Amino acid sequence: MCGVMGVIGSQSASRDVYAGLLALQHRGQDAAGILSFNSPEQRFHLVRGAGLVSQTFNRSAMNSLSGDAAIGHTRYSTVGRTEDRDIQPSIVPQPFGIGMAHNGNLSNYKALADKIRASQNRYLQTGNDLEVLQCLLAEGLSSSTARENAPGCFFFDDLRRAVELVFDVARGGYAVVGIIAGKGMYAFRDPNGIRPLVLGRRDGDGSHAVASETSALNITGHRPVRHIEPGEIIFIENNGALHSARTKVTRHAPCMFEWVYFASAESQIEGRGVYGARLELGRALAKIISQRQAAGARSSGDSACESLEIDMVVPVPDTSRTAAIALAETLKIPYRDVLIKNRYVFRSFILNTQEERERALKIKLAPVASEIEGKNVLLVDDSIVRGTTARRLVGLVREAGARKVYMASTCPPVRHPCFYGIDFPDARGLVAHGREESEVADEIGVDGLFYLDMRGLREAIGLPALCTACLDGDYPVPVAQAPEGFCGEG
């Protein structure tokens, strides 16, 4: 999962993108990059590097990114570690000069890469699926017969046909933003709409922006216009004229994990507010707990616990706070924010290795022992994926003196791998894979475990269709198993 941002028609395009990337930092902390295009110079300018946005761009770097069009990227590597050559955005020199950044994964990366090497006699410089997308788009544009000196509307026809070719062969989830030298800015979204992308416009200067989330548009003063549809290509000329076409539609399946965990609380994804969805997730989870309380049974359904008494609801910072507040209000149980977060520590889920996640968690959270001692504590987390965070958190809370520790997840059990941009492409790393809920409870060491069910999840998010493949194995882009040569760099 990554964050992308693009702006055209602004005299401060690169600074707009920089501000937007700060608002998208939660989507990727491995690396960041900005690519600008200066029309009078007919030159691209690129700055990128490992680390946070604030670490990558100093004043000198920002001054070098001249031009009225720019795109940017925050990187979350889902396979391996970050290498300089894999940091986005990137450029291919022909035709025209194509800059690109994307969020997502191609599940058929290896087959496409092999085909490109064979058919185009091209050497691929990275292990990044972005390069494959760029090669596919470049090949489609190169085959156009009408590109030379064509007016913008005709160039859009060429671009649309080129993107259609990408849609025909690229499998997976991807949201793309880019610049074509001397032409304008483009964006497109995979035919299933797995990864989010939103279009905005600023009234003052008429500039357009495209971003992963509306939070990035809000910070730059761009009014969200609409989300880009699955299978849609948009193109904004240098003069501000906007063209769009929806060329391929299959099964609309936006990733449910955006509302559960990844997206910023103030964002709107697919027109659905993330904050509101998380409130509903908490309320739905409260109903499940209330039913269990009434039945006087553990989540596993056995009779080991004759009654369920909860003294306080405690969120696992930060994402689960909204749901935890709604859950506590619904159950009329005191809400206590007694896991104090060190705000300088990265989001532990999106660190690259298990060792890094465990090390980060040790310094990320500190329990307030004076409030926890002797209490029955219900921990609320957005999800339980690998079990790393849950297991160590339970240990921390017990060490702080809790009498009993329960855990509730606003996401149903994650039992299947994701091939579309979330960092669990191997089912063996999932704590719920092949385990019953009671076995997961034993594994993470809780006295009781509560998962939201699929119905509650769907009703809380409130959209007619979602990608829930990691929960139920129903993949919108069929994948029998982890693809050979699976690449997760977007």
H/E element, 177: strand 172-180
pLDDT greater than 50 at residue 302: no
**Quick one: CATH architecture of 273-466?**
3-Layer(aba) Sandwich (3.40)
Q: Is the pLDDT of residue 481 over 60?
A: no
Higher pLDDT pick, 347 / 181: 181
- Band of residue 299 on the pLDDT scale cut at 50, 70, 90: very low
Q: What is the pLDDT of residue 248?
A: 86
Predicted confidence at residue 486, as pLDDT, reads 46
In the chain, where does the domain assigned CATH 3.60.20.10 lie? 3-255
Question: Tell me: the pLDDT tens digits for 367-376?
Answer: 999 999 999 9
Q: Exposed/middle/buried for 242, CB within 10 Å: 0-12, 13-18, 19+?
A: middle
| Mean pLDDT confidence for 70-81 | 80
Residue 487 is a catalytic residue: no
State the pLDDT at residue 483: 46
CB 471 within 8 A of CB 414: yes
pLDDT at residue 295, rounded to an integer: 80
Q: Considering the chain, what percentage of its residues have pLDDT values greater than 90?
A: 78
Task: Supply the CATH classification number for the domain 3-255.
Answer: 3.60.20.10
Pairing of strands 242-246, 268-269: unpaired
Which pLDDT belongs to residue 355? 64
Give the global pTM.
Answer: 0.91
The ranges of the chain annotated as CATH 3.40.50.2020 are 273-466
**For residue 266, which of 195, 328, 218 has the smallest C-alpha distance?**
218
SS3 12: coil
Q: How far apart are CA 81 and CA 128, in angstroms?
A: 12
Instruction: Between 145 and 24, name the one with better pLDDT.
Output: 24
Which 8-state DSSP code applies to residue 255?
B
The region of weakest confidence among 320-329, 355-364, 405-414, 471-480 is 355-364
Which tens digits make up the pLDDT trace of 169-214? 999 999 999 999 999 999 999 999 999 999 999 999 999 999 999 9
Section 456-472 average pLDDT = 97
In degrees, rounded to 5, the angle at the alpha carbon of residue 26 between the alpha carbons of residues 21 and 30 is 80
pLDDT at residue 438 above 60?
yes
Give the pLDDT of residue 352: 55
- pLDDT at residue 490 in the model: 57
Compute the distance between CA of residue 234 and CA of residue 247 in angstroms, rounded to an integer.
11
Residue identified by tokens 């889920």 is 349
Among the listed ranges 9-23, 148-162, 259-273, 404-418, which one has the minimum average pLDDT value?
A: 148-162
Between 364 and 473, residue with greater pLDDT: 473
Which of 2, 411, 470, 487 is the catalytic position?
A: 2
pLDDT category of residue 362 using cuts at 50, 70 and 90: low
Q: Is 380 a residue whose pLDDT tops 80? A: yes
Please give the pLDDT value at position 34.
Answer: 99
Question: 344 pLDDT exceeds 90?
Answer: no
Residue 123 or 485, more confident: 123
Task: With cut-offs at 50, 70 and 90, classify the pLDDT of residue 4.
Answer: very high
The pLDDT assigned to 186 comes to 99
Mean pLDDT value across the chain? 91
What pLDDT score was predicted for residue 125?
87
Residue 278 sits at φ, ψ, to 5 deg, of -70, -35
Where is average pLDDT lowest: 48-57, 217-226, 422-431?
422-431
Q: Is the pLDDT of residue 249 over 60?
A: yes
pLDDT per position as a tens digit, 120-173: 878 888 888 999 999 999 999 998 744 454 554 579 999 999 999 999 999 999
Say if residue 80's pLDDT is above 50. Answer: no
Q: For residues 121 and 171, give the distance between their C-alpha atoms in angstroms, rounded to a whole number.
A: 22
